[in-house]
Amino acid sequence: MSSSKDSTGLSPNVAGLLCYVAGWISGIVFLIIEKDSKFVKFHALQSIVTFGILTVVQIILSFIPFIGWVLVPLVWILMVVLWIILMIRAYSGVMWKLPLVGNWAEQQANKG
């Protein structure tokens, strides 16, 4: 990670952290506005995919009686734990990759 500012005017570690603040929504915002930093693009993409998938899973599970209703809080706990860890790692300047999602996000961030 470079210590210089990215195209948002923020340091990359702050922009990386902000990619996760509002889940997939802030990921989309930073993916749209970031033009230069692969570090920020990586975190934006990882945020979009990770929290997007987990949000869809939660919605689907909420319609499944009993078992789904039991699993929704577990998915919510997973989301909160990932949210905290990913924000801390991004602020620390680490491109911490989640399984599957992280490798894809890195490949996409390096394309542009």
Instruction: Tell me the pLDDT of the chain (112 aa) as tens digits.
Output: 545 667 788 999 999 999 999 999 999 999 999 988 999 999 999 999 999 999 999 999 999 999 999 999 999 999 999 999 999 999 999 999 999 999 999 999 998 6
**pTM given for the model:** 0.90
Alpha carbon 95 to its chain centroid, in Å, reads 11
Locate 25 and state its tokens.
């929504």
pLDDT digits (tens, 9 = 90+) for 48-60: 999 999 999 999 9
**Measured distance CA(22)–CA(34) in Å, rounded:** 16
